[in-house]
Amino acid sequence: MYAIPLPTPLPEPAGMHIPDGFVSAPVAAAGYVAAGIVLAIAVRQANRKFQERLVPLMGVMAAFIFAAQMMNFPVAGGTSGHMLGAALATILLGPWAAIIVIACVVGVQALVFQDGGLAALGTNVVNMAVVGVLVSCAVYWAAGALAGENRRLRYVAAFCASWLSIAAAALACSFELAISGTSPLHVVLPAMTGVHALIGIGEGLITVAALAFITATRSDLLPTRREAGLETQ
């Protein structure tokens, strides 16, 4: 998902997505396996609870996430970070549809815009689509259950979900790069988590603002736990 500082500067500024050559073959293979398994589950779950209203919303969210991830913020050594959009997608679409949407965005970025390497595509999908969405889902819906109908507490839950999704994705990427031998953990971990902790604040505020607007104007777009695929009955 993310590029990190190397001992020597990169020939060209690297994006937040992991380029080819930054992860070892075993880590890349594990990323593809994990991404494939989760995507298969997500497609199956989404098909079981498919809703027509999600079709245009998925397109809008894909466009928003693509645009948000195009805004890069310098980190160090020719690297950069960007927003994720996992929390807002999870809140509006449910976790399974959100995983599919973000995975598609990451795939298009790699295949069409060369943003992230093909060998590292599996790890990029895991970091952004899987880790980001599942963390967002766990935080938002767990806190939302406690908040009940209290809108302010739900907004706090949305902010926390956004911030933690960014932090968790950066943390996962840091360990992948450290295991691959790209950079020592004591170098990559503070570099990645530090800048994304700041980015997470901005993303959290944007998520809350979007959620507040949707709640005020089109609250019918917000799914229930059952519509989100979190309850079977």
Structure tokens at 71: 């805004």
For 152-191, letters b (16+ CB in 10 Å) and e give eebbebbbbbbbbbbbbbbbbbbebbbebebbeeebbbeb
Q: Does an H or E element contain 74, and which?
A: strand 72-74
- In a 10 Å sphere around its CB, with 0-12 CB exposed, 13-18 middle and 19+ buried, how is residue 233 labelled? exposed
Q: How far apart are CA 233 and CA 215, in angstroms?
A: 25
- Cα distance between the two ends of the chain: 36
The pLDDT averaged over each successive group of 10 residues in the chain (233 residues) is 43 57 92 96 84 76 80 54 83 90 91 84 93 92 75 89 92 91 86 84 89 85 65 52
Contact 80, 73 (CB under 8 A): yes
Q: How far apart are CA 157 and CA 161, in angstroms?
A: 6
Selection from 135, 138, 120 nearest residue 34 by Cα: 120
Contact 108, 66 (CB under 8 A): yes
Q: How far apart are CA 194 and CA 204, in angstroms?
A: 16
Write the class of the CATH domain 25-221: mainly alpha
3-state DSSP of 96-116 = HHHHHHHHHHHHHHHHHHCCC
The pTM (predicted TM-score) of the whole model is 0.83
Cα angle value 182/184/187 (rounded, 5°): 110
Q: Output the pLDDT for position 200.
A: 86
Helix axes 185-217, 86-93, angle to 10 degrees: 40
The domain ranges of the chain are 25-221
Q: How far apart are CA 132 and CA 182, in angstroms?
A: 22
